[in-house]
Structure 1
Amino acid sequence: MKVIYHIDESEKWNMVLDNVTNMLNYGAENNTAFEIEIVANGIAVTGLFRQEAKEANRYARMEELHTKKVIFAVCNNALKKFAAQNTVLCPFATVVPAGVVELAKKQEEGYSYIKP
């Protein structure tokens, strides 16, 4: 099953990570494979800034999810808006040209859309 999570509010990062963890746990218990991508746009891109993720005690959780093949996609338009350089991102984050385009593209490819 292919799933795309959309986050655009910083305060929802823990909820998104919990949802993804719960989904992967369900998959492990029920022999169900998931392809999961989390797309961050708007202010939520700052949650993938390395320092912010570490200070919020989310970095290790994100890194662990990445080892389970969860993709963390960051909207380049939002990065530009916040004048951020890619070097401040978590090393496992992938920059996409536009978050909304990534969401539409993945839905067209059959991904289920979830926005906590």
Structure 2
Amino acid sequence: MSASATLLEHPLLPRIEKALDSIRPYLEADGGNVRVLEITDDMVLRLELMGACGTCPMSPMTLKAGVEESVKKAVPEIVAVEAVNGITAPQPAGQVGRPVQPNPVPTPN
């Protein structure tokens, strides 16, 4: 059985989706959404932040204060909610540490 088939058959998934559906209008209003990727054996819900949520600097706050609170209230079996993407800005290739803004290219007058 594939991992996605296992997820679709997970007994907590309908309750989790119902909790997420209650906050999706707020996420969608800002151009974002979430998708369930996995429910681990340790009862950690792993989500993908989609659209604007994937790159928004407020995503960690939205995840903890909005998504995690809603899910844990509706499904107390879930002990934590994690995002697998979007929390930090991607690094340019070959760059280590904090991203450095590129120097502007001078334009002729």
State if a TM-score over 0.5 links the two structures. no
Which entry has the higher C-alpha Rg, 1 or 2? Answer: 2
Q: Larger RCO: Structure 1 or Structure 2 (Cα < 8 Å, ≥ 6 residues apart)?
A: 1
Give 1 or 2: higher helix fraction. 1
Q: TM-score, normalised by structure 2?
A: 0.29
